[in-house]
Amino acid sequence: MIITFSGAAGSGKSTIAQKLADNLKWPRYYMGGLRREAAKKRGLTLAEYNELGEKDPKTDMEVDEYQKKLGETEDNFIIEGRTSWYFIPHSLKIYLDVSLEEGAKRIFLSLKGKNERNEALGLESLADVKASMLKRLESDSKRYKKYYNIDVNDFSHYDYYLDTTKMTKKEVMKAVFDFVEGRLDKAKK
């Protein structure tokens, strides 16, 4: 089984995907990390790389081809990426959502203590984080619509949707683990 995670910024995707991978003892692939590395190699921030991607499809297609190949050649792994469900259609697709306000608060709190990096990115306040999130969402939506004619925020694409806004990490973990466990049990039968 392949499990794909997508969702809103600050919803807990990375935390839950990693904990689930640890629990199942499966590898986890993080497409956002690959995009950040590609941006860094070009001397760009992720925001600049996304902007470049609005004109140059190669910035997305490198990662998208990688995930597609993973889905065709491997099994029993977790992959986190906005388009993973699309490129691995036979996966179990999970979407974690959160309100913009709560997502921004979570991200801002996680960035505290990383001041040097935050200042370089211009993320010195909650308002900065929120503006950055909205800009990224706009860029992502524009690119995915342009190159693949998909809306990654259309919840009908997913097998499981969970709004984590008013939930603790523990509650989110339990809800996702219970859902996955039910699917794994079904697959064994």
pLDDT digits (tens, 9 = 90+) for 110-159: 887 655 444 445 677 889 889 989 988 888 888 889 889 999 889 999 99
Tokens of 59: 């910035």
pLDDT given at position 114: 59
Q: Break the chain into its structural domains and give their ranges.
A: 2-188
> Which stretch of DSSP H or E encloses residue 6?
strand 2-7
Give the pairing type, strands 92-97 and 2-7. Answer: parallel
> What pLDDT, in 10s, does the model give residues 10-29?
999 999 999 999 999 999 99
Average pLDDT, the chain: 89
Pairing of strands 77-80, 2-7: parallel
Comparing 40 with 92, which gets the higher pLDDT?
Answer: 92
Report yes or no on whether pTM surpasses 0.85: yes
Question: Dihedral through CA 119, CA 32, CA 176, CA 18, nearest 10?
Answer: -80
Second CATH level (architecture) for the domain 2-188: 3-Layer(aba) Sandwich (3.40)
* Percent of the chain residues past pLDDT 70, beyond the cut: 95
* Token duo for residue 10: 């600050």
At residue 188, the pLDDT reads 77
pLDDT tens-digit map of 133-147: 998 888 888 888 988
Q: For residue 142, what are the CA distances in angstroms to 48, 149, 161?
A: 14, 9, 22
On whether the CB atoms of residues 15 and 175 are closer than 8 A, the answer is: no
